A and B are shown apart, each in its own frame.
Chain A
């Protein structure tokens, strides 16, 4: 399975010149916890709700501060055709929960740990189905009929 097949949620991007107040409102309106910071079609950073709190509010930044003041740069990305197992490894190695997906140099979406958990839960359910059937409706051999001469 490829990364692109597992991306479920829409992703939202904003320009680096936008304010952190805008970013918070957009997160609320779009229902996302992270925004890709896009410049000329390329992802140059990632700003999360946590960034807004830790690097914005906690540092007494004004709501008019620019997004690029609080965003995370040097973002680790993954190509859309990467095998999903490699994404597991990236999440395991790094301490983040979201991974921007790119095709070539272009940002195309975001994959989250939540997406992977949903896939894993579905796989587990598929595996559990025959086991559940066996436990609940155990197949018992019917003894052969004894015939007497």
Chain B
């Protein structure tokens, strides 16, 4: 996985009805955009170190160009 500062990472819900969870990448500590990342979770403002698994997808911070 590669991410940049400002990207959002979405972690899919694991059970039926469980919402996806999102966090924003604040720092990239790996090489070439690789993990680990320091992220901020949702609205709580908590920051943690995040090690993405296959349940996580990066959403580019820049809007797609047409």
Assess whether B52 is in contact with A10, with CB atoms less than 8 Å apart. Answer: yes
| A74 on the B face (CB < 8 A) | no
Interface size on A, residues (CB 8 A): 22
Cβ A13 vs Cβ B51 within 8 A:
yes
Seen from chain B, the residues whose Cβ lies within 8 Å of a Cβ on chain A are 11, 13-14, 18, 21, 23, 29, 35-36, 41-42, 44, 46, 48-56
Whole-angstrom distance between the Cβ of B27 and the nearest chain A Cβ: 12
| Chain B min CB distance to A49 (Å) | 15
Partner of A11, one of B14, B41, B53: B53
Q: CA–CA, A8 to B14, complex, Å?
A: 11
Assess whether A25 is in contact with B53, with CB atoms less than 8 Å apart: no
- In the complex where A29-B21, A30-B11 touch, is A14 in contact with B48 (Cβ < 8 A)? yes
| Residues A10 and B49 in contact, CB atoms below 8 Å apart | no
- The residue from A8, A14, A36 contacting B53, defined by CB atoms under 8 A apart: A8
Complex interface: chain B residues within 8 A of A8 (CB) = 53-55
Chain B CB within 10 Å — which of A8, A10, A13 has the most?
A10
User: Known contacts A10-B11, A13-B36: does B53 contact A29 (CB below 8 Å)?
Assistant: no
Please name all residues of chain B whose beta carbon is closer than 8 Å to the beta carbon of A31 when the two chains form the complex. Answer: 11, 13-14, 18, 21
